[in-house]
Chains A and B, each alone.
Chain A
Amino acid sequence: MNTLRRYAGIYRIMWRNSLIREMNFKANFLLWMLVEMLWFFGQIVFINVLFGYVNTIGDWTKWEVVLLIGTNQIIGQIFQAFFYVNVANLPELIRTGKLDLMLLQPVDTQFAACTRQFGLDNIVNVIVGIAIVSFSLVQLKVAPSCAQVALYLVAVGCGVAIHYSIMFGLATMSFWIVRAQGLIHGYYNLFNIARYPRAVFSGVFRWIFSWIIPVLVVANVPAELLVRPFSQPWGALAHLAAAALLVLGMVRVFWLFALRRYASASS
């Protein structure tokens, strides 16, 4: 319990520092917000164009897909707000040997490396995502129950854990591969398919991306929980939660293994 309190205290200080830093670069904050919104609205325009030609994609209607994209946005942006910059910087810490400093600090190194900065602009984009999801619900004339919303939130949390694990796993590979831009690129490429209804995928591809690298359940399961009140939501949710715990555990083991191999880089 004491350990938990200590980490919470450290985390609070990290947040404060990062807020102060962020407020020093207000123009940058606004520009990043704009970048994310452009990507988001571009996707919605894309979906609009597609639904100009068809009524359903893999038995999902237009507003269901918009809700799926909004959910994907919420999960992705929560991950980006709390972890993205830190994890993206990890290869640089390894390459330059700055990781040494964190190894010496009296906290868990993974914690220290992953919580240094926090993106306020992403929080604004989470709110935009929530607005889009709510708007889609109105269009669909669906009023989810409290239980559904609660399950949705749990599912969103699991989704964030999967985002974090996959990106952290990729970044950890930079203990072996020095130039890691390709790895960061990998994160975006893998999650590129998370915004599509999983029903359109099939075969080995679907199996791999549902179980091994579970990006297809990240946004799909919470979106289904909200708009498709199935009689038994537990199956899908259990799949998502199991996948999240599994990848989280796997990258932790991988990280510890990689740390043992770390030989620093400075002279």
Chain B
Amino acid sequence: MAVAKYLKVFDIGLQNTFVYRWNFLLRSVFGLVPLAGTVFIWRAIFQARGANVAGYDYAGMIFYFLMVLLVDNLVTPTEDEWQIAADIRDGQINSFLTKPMHYLGYRMTLFASYRLLYTLVTLPLVAGIFCVFHDYVVLPQHWWTWPVAALSIGMAGLIQFFLAYSLAMLAFWILEISTIVFIFFSFEYFLSGQLFPLDLMPHWLQGALHWMPFSYELYFPVSVFLEKHQGADLWQGLGIQAMWLAIMYGVAQFMWRRGVEHYQAVGG
């Protein structure tokens, strides 16, 4: 019963999103331009340097960015925070306060269905890119890398979702959350490994990033797949990632509870 109603939400999410498939497709087509820019820049850098930048050769670097593209498609929320904030601002959330369904569960189900559909719609494109660069694709050597990387990618998705959810909860207190969301975006862009692998950073900063949540949103799961972490190093990373997942879940719940207490039901 409890599962059935969330399955229904999942279905609604799929249908809603399917209406906007052109939006998805355009988004991912335009997303190829920065990827091409990255490939050209790194080609020039490796031409000037010869080989090896922080343990990457040219092929390794390109494959890193391909994996970032794939994982980003799989787990990064695209519009969830804006929709949640709009729900709160317009008073749509009223109807959830009386329904036998938790808003967080509802939103997580929608998030899952969005990501699934987004990945499916953009799959031909991503597969095409992997084909073009197939010389650089290096699959993991150990079979167990697959499940461990999948686990890490899943946790990364949840961390990103809870973060987006918590930020959107700010709409209970302030009208315009976009500035704060964009400040977080900029930290994520530079510190999560989207712009370049974090191994290139100065060592002191890498040490600090090891304990911060950003690298566990993207860089860590990708480097698990690339088998950059072994043994104790790998387990410690997964442990920190799980810790951040728990913290972000706690923050999300806390923000919701405080938000509802403060809520005034505008337009209800």
Contacts and interface: CB of A to CB of B under 8 A. Distances in A.
A216 B30 CA distance: 15
Interface string B10-28: 0000000001101110110
Nearest to A180: B23
A254 interface: no
Contacts of B186: 35, 38-39, 42
Nearest to A45: B190
Interface in B185-221: 186-187, 189-190, 195-196, 200-202
Dominant SS among interface residues on chain B: helix
Interface in B34-89: 34, 36-37, 40-41, 43-45, 48-49, 53-54, 78-79
Contact of B196 (A49, A57, A177, A205): A49
B41 A57 contact: yes
A192 B34 contact: yes
Interface in A224-265: none
Interface string B153-194: 000000000000000000000001001101100110110000
B23 A190 contact: no
A46 B195 contact: yes
Nearest to A25: B176
A1 interface: no
B31 interface: yes
Interface in A31-74: 31-32, 34-35, 38-39, 42, 45-46, 49-50, 52-58
B45 A189 contact: no
A28 B36 contact: no
A150 B15 CA distance: 55
Interface in B226-250: none
A35 B36 CA distance: 26
Interface in B112-132: none
B23 A179 contact: yes
A58 B23 contact: no
A54 B48 contact: yes
B30 A186 contact: yes
Interface in A172-189: 177-183, 185-186, 189
Given A46-B196, A200-B41, A201-B40, A31 B179 contact: yes
Contacts of B53: 53
Given A179-B22, A182-B26, 11 more contacts: A31-B180, A35-B179, A42-B186, A53-B53, A54-B49, A56-B48, A178-B20, A182-B22, A189-B31, A196-B40, A196-B41
14 contacts: A35-B179, A35-B182, A38-B186, A39-B186, A39-B189, A42-B195, A57-B44, A177-B26, A179-B19, A179-B20, A182-B26, A190-B30, A200-B40, A200-B41
Interface of B: 19-20, 22-24, 26-27, 30-31, 33-34, 36-37, 40-41, 43-45, 48-49, 53-54, 78-79, 176, 179-180, 182-183, 186-187, 189-190, 195-196, 200-202
Interface of A: 25, 28, 31-32, 34-35, 38-39, 42, 45-46, 49-50, 52-58, 177-183, 185-186, 189-190, 192-193, 196, 199-202, 205
